[in-house]
């Protein structure tokens, strides 16, 4: 308490004194030096003392007090596992429990709705349902047939009541259909290579025919040359 004579000086010690909190030596007002994060530290214990300005002797008993950092909604929900994977029996009844997903929020659960979570389905609503409070995933259709579809991609979202959206948890979808398409593509590629081979064979046959025609042409020219030679020799004899 300031006595008004200018002899009182206020001192502060404890957690964060001088770094997080500073005190005005003349008035005793305490100020913060930087933004506080409740998730980093939610409480500080400090001691303030009024002393004589010249001798630093305490003029009255020290005052101990606690500063609690009030939470704000500054953290989104996070799923504990991602991606999730689960199985369900074929021909299961509607409402069969499959898996429970869990998200956490670093905000203060005792203050407001910052840490109260709600689960929703983003993808897969036509086949599954999720309990908004517990995160339990259940079947929404009867008689699921493995031969019709053996895997599903389900995307869930966690949101706190303050409006922060969390990351999405999902299950991966199988690649059998993609594999069949790839195998079909390989067959088409092989067919293409077969066509190339047939094309090469056709070109080889044409080249062979051309060579045979050239050979026949050379033979014909040789015969004609032989005939002319015989005629010439006959003329000499005459």
Which of 170, 202, 230 represents a domain boundary (last residue)? 170
- Report if residue 219 sits inside a domain: no
Confidence (pLDDT) at 109: 79
Q: How confident is the model at residue 62 (pLDDT cuts 50, 70, 90)?
A: very high
SS3 content of the chain, % helix, strand, coil (to 5): 25, 25, 45
* CA distance linking residue 155 with residue 129, whole number of Å: 11
Domain assignment present for residue 183? The answer is no
pLDDT in tens, 151-187: 999 999 999 876 656 555 554 333 222 223 233 333 3
Q: Residues 58, 101: one domain? A: no
Quick one: which H or E segment has residue 79?
strand 78-79
User: Comparing C-alpha atoms, which of 62, 61, 55 is closest to residue 23?
Assistant: 62
Among 170, 203, 227, the domain boundary falls at 170
Same domain, yes or no: 33 and 52: yes
| pLDDT for res 4 | 52
Q: What is the mean pLDDT of the chain?
A: 76
Owning domain of residue 50: 8-68
Tell me: do 92 and 153 sit in the same domain.
yes
CATH code for position 159: 2.60.40.60
Q: Around Cβ 142, how many Cβ atoms within 10 Å? A: 11
Are residues 90 and 162 located together in one domain of the fold?
Answer: yes
Q: If you average pLDDT over residues 35-50, what whole number do you get?
A: 94
Q: For 141-147, which contacts have Cβ atoms below 8 Å and span 24 or more sequence positions? A: 141/94, 142/91, 142/92, 142/93, 142/94, 143/91, 144/88, 144/90, 144/91, 144/92, 145/90, 145/91, 146/90
Q: Please tell me whether residues 157 and 89 are part of one structural domain.
A: yes
Tens-digit pLDDT profile for residues 196-214: 444 444 555 555 555 555 5
pTM of whole model > 0.75? no
- The answer, yes or no, to whether residue 220 has pLDDT greater than 80, is no
Residues 106 and 53 in one domain: no
> What are the residues facing 47 on neighbouring strands?
13, 64
The secondary structure element, H or E, covering residue 221 is helix 176-237
Last residue of a domain, one of 170, 204, 233: 170
Residue-wise DSSP of 126-157: TTEEE-TTT-EEEE-SSS--TTT------EEE
Residue 76: pLDDT over 90 = no
Q: Is the pLDDT of residue 125 over 90?
A: yes
Domain count, the chain: 2
Mean pLDDT, range 37-59, rounded to an integer: 93
Kindly state whether residue 73 falls inside one of the protein's structural domains: no
């Amino acid at each position: 308490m300031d006595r008004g004579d200018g002899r009182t000086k206020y001192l502060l010690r404890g957690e964060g004194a001088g770094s997080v909190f500073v005190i005005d030596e003349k008035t005793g007002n305490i100020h913060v030096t930087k933004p506080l994060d409740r998730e980093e530290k939610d409480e500080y214990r400090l001691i303030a003392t009024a002393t004589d300005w010249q001798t630093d002797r305490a003029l009255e008993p020290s005052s101990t007090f606690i500063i609690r950092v009030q939470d704000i909604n500054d953290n989104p929900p996070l799923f504990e596992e991602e991606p999730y994977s689960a199985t369900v029996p074929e021909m299961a009844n509607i409402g069969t429990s499959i898996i429970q997903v869990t998200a956490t929020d670093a905000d203060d659960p005792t203050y407001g709705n910052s840490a109260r979570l709600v689960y929703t389905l983003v993808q897969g609503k036509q086949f599954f349902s999720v309990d908004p409070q517990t995160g339990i995933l259940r079947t929404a259709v009867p008689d699921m047939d493995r031969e019709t579809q053996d895997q599903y991609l389900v995307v869930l979202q966690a949101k706190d009541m303050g409006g922060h959206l969390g990351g999405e948890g999902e299950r991966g979808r199988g690649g059998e259909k993609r594999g069949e398409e790839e195998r079909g593509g390989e067959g088409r590629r092989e067919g293409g290579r077969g066509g190339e081979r047939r094309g090469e064979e056709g070109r080889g046959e044409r080249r062979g025919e051309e060579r045979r025609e050239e050979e026949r042409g050379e033979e014909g020219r040789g015969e004609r040359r032989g005939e002319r030679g015989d005629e010439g020799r006959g003329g000499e004899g005459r």
